[in-house]
Amino acid sequence: MAVRPSLAYFPSDNALLDSSGLPWGVAVTPFSSTDERGSSPVTGDEGDLIPRCTSCFAYFSTLCSLHRWSWTCPICSEDNDLSADAAARYARDGSHDPPELRSAFVDLLLPGEEGEAAAATTPVYVAAIDLSSSEEFLELVKSALLAALEALSPGSLFGILTFSSKIGLYDVQGPIPIVKNVFIPPDSDGTLHVDLKDVMPFCSFLAPVGTFKDRIAEALETVKPIASWERATTASQVQDHALHHTRGFGVAIDALVNYLSVENGTTFELGM
């Protein structure tokens, strides 16, 4: 993981942050192979031994304040007790410290339970496509998605969602690909008037790649940028907020995550 701040120095408190007027923020790349300094992660196989905060469940790390029999969580400031084994683990000298004390960037393995069978999981991929982009950019997006489609395993599930001033859900499992649209209200507060699960059944949205690869490709080829007349209509409806409502990114992603969370209470991993 790589963490890169927008500024070299951070405000010490909220009051200073608000009064500075500076664009303070942090860019996080969670799946980076190196950290922000280009260093590889420290590895280990004792992930099950790392203490977790009793309040926010954050893992112990080099950012925590470590005491003899306790540690303080840097995220929520909760004071957590250390077990005798954990206290002994962190009482070592610097040359034999465990991975989580040697670096803030660690990859640790979690052992499986005795007799635990490997759970069969089905990879799920969703392409969320922004139709407010230019035609040239959209062609690049479609080319990238078609190339990625060829690399997916036949057992994967794939769904297509488009967004602009409306959200489109694609069903590619019929004779021809069809799309059902949900319009984003101009005065939307971040929510839709109808849930996506009521627009299209979950099993219709996600199609097996092995069976419907050609139809998925056909559906991707039909994706076009938002029409000029639709831009004009949307602009006349929302006036100075036209760009926000034409793109609809936040509303679309929030609705998509909620949509994928309804299946047995499980949130699927997204590839966008």
Structural domains of the chain ordered from first start: 31-108 (2.30.30.380), 124-260 (3.40.50.410)
pLDDT recorded at residue 100: 85
Residue 36: strand, helix, or coil: coil
E-only strand ranges, the chain = 2-5, 26-29, 42-44, 65-66, 70-72, 79-81, 106-108, 124-130, 157-163, 166-171, 178-183, 207-208
| Dihedral class, residue 191 (left if φ above 0, else alpha if ψ from -120 to 50, else beta) | beta
Q: Kindly report the number of other CB atoms within 10 A of residue 22's CB atom.
A: 12
pLDDT recorded at residue 41: 85
- The β-bridge partners of 29 are 2
Q: What distance in Å separates the CA atoms of residue 4 and residue 127, rounded to the nearest whole number?
A: 27
Please name the amino acid found at residue 130.
Answer: D
pLDDT recorded at residue 120: 55
pTM of the complete model: 0.53
- Let me know: does 160 contact 170? Beta carbons within 8 Å: yes
Task: Output the tens digit of pLDDT for each of the chain's 272 residues.
Answer: 788 888 887 778 888 888 888 878 888 887 788 888 888 888 888 788 889 999 999 989 888 999 989 999 988 999 999 999 888 888 866 667 888 888 878 887 777 655 544 455 788 999 999 998 889 999 999 999 999 999 999 889 999 999 988 999 999 998 888 999 998 887 767 678 888 888 998 889 999 999 999 999 999 999 999 864 455 555 555 444 444 445 688 888 888 888 888 654 444 444 44
